[in-house]
């Protein structure tokens, strides 16, 4: 697999505007900085539309279910200014009001990338799933079918994360087999991945968003793998810091060497 967007991020230092949840705001900002992007966190109604005149990517994350109006306003301005919008429906299956808000964002906005775990994507696809808050929960549905269905319905690129990440535009499917079981043991690792996707599509042409998202998820999963290498399975605090270090350290050459990606 050929990588080309990681170096572009480091060259261009894209500004990624995040309207995210309070749990992960600081960690996401640090992760974007480590990668080579420039984070801006704001949910103020007076400025979120204006920010789309100079930002390269917009992340909307519903994790703490706040600022829905700001997300709509920012998303509409981003669409008008050709700024790619990444939606992270964190915890969207937990309550009815989250489901409604997620559907509104998907219907009202042109979402370039929808990044979530299996439970979140199953909830959007209306497939029966035992959702567990912001964690992926358990279910019997075929996750490739779920991801493809949602990608087609909303004409977007779905990045469904888990032990194997599934990236699809509804037709093409990439599976990323990299990662570490330490990822789901720290809070914010999925949310930071959403922000990382925004940085990658922020330096890509629209026609190549699929490839940019595959690259984003692969680089990220490998950074986690490298961070976990010297750690035991209980060193979750160290993993959270080591992941930031690896996002700063990882090169296209290293990613190419370690990537385990298959296409269907
Ligand atoms: N069991 C696992 N083994 C390896 N990697 C994992 C595992 N679970 C999640 N990941 C990785 O963790 C990152 C965050 O995904 P995930 O934990 O699914 O997000 P979320 O926090 O939204 O549930 C992704 O890069 C994914 O590949
Ligand atoms: C714990 C929690 N509660 C609301 S948002 C959030 C953070 C979830 O982070 P992630 O989805 O990346 O694990
Ligand atoms: Mg998580």
pLDDT in tens, the chain (264 residues): 899 999 999 999 999 999 999 999 999 999 999 999 999 999 999 999 999 999 999 999 999 999 999 999 999 999 999 999 999 999 999 999 999 999 999 999 999 999 999 999 999 999 999 988 999 999 989 999 999 999 999 999 999 999 999 999 999 999 999 999 999 999 999 999 999 999 999 999 999 999 999 999 999 999 999 999 999 999 999 999 999 999 999 999 999 999 999 999
Q: State the alpha helices, DSSP H only, in 81-130.
A: 96-108, 118-125
The CA 187 to ligand 2 mean position distance, Å, reads 6
Q: Which residues' Cβ are closer than 6 Å to ligand 2? A: 21, 23-24, 63-64, 90-91, 134, 187-191
CATH of 5-263, one of 3.40.50.300, 3.40.50.150, 2.40.50.100, 3.40.1190.20: 3.40.1190.20
Q: 71, 74, 167: which is closest to 115 by C-alpha?
A: 167
Residues with C-beta atoms within 5 A of ion ligand 3: 190
Q: Which residues face 167 on adjacent strands?
A: 159, 174
What radius of gyration, in Å, describes the C-alpha atoms of the chain? 17
Q: Is the CB of 132 under 6 A from ligand 1?
A: no
Contact of 148 with 173, CB cutoff 8 Å: yes
Tokens of 227: 């961070």
d(CA 156, CA 210): 9
Tokens of 58: 């917009």
d(CA 48, CA 43): 6
Q: Domains of the chain: which residue ranges? A: 5-263
């Amino acid at each position: 697999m050929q990588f080309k967007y990681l170096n572009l991020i480091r060259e261009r230092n894209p500004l990624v505007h995040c309207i995210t949840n309070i749990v992960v705001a600081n960690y996401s900002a640090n992760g974007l900085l480590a990668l080579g992007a420039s984070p801006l966190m704001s949910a103020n109604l007076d400025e979120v539309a204006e920010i789309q005149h100079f930002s390269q990517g917009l992340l909307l994350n519903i994790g703490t279910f706040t600022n829905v109006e700001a997300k709509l306003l920012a998303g509409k301005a981003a669409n008008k200014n050709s700024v790619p919008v990444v939606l992270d429906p964190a915890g969207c299956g937990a309550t009815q009001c989250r489901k409604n808000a997620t559907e509104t964002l998907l219907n009202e906005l042109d979402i370039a990338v929808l990044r979530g775990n299996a439970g979140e994507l199953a909830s959007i696809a209306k497939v029966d799933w035992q959702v567990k808050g912001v964690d992926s929960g358990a279910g019997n549905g075929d996750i490739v079918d779920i991801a493809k269905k949602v990608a087609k319905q909303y004409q977007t690129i779905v990045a469904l994360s888990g032990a194997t990440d599934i990236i699809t535009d509804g037709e093409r499917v990439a599976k990323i087999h990299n990662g570490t079981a330490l990822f789901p043991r720290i809070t914010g690792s999925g949310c930071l991945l959403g922000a990382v996707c925004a940085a990658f599509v922020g330096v890509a042409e629209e026609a190549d968003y699929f490839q940019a998202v595959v690259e984003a998820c692969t680089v990220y999963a490998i950074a986690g793998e490298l961070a976990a290498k010297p750690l035991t399975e209980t060193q979750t605090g160290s993993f959270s810091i080591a992941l930031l270090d690896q996002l700063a350290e990882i090169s296209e050459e290293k990613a190419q060497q370690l990537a385990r990606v298959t296409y269907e």
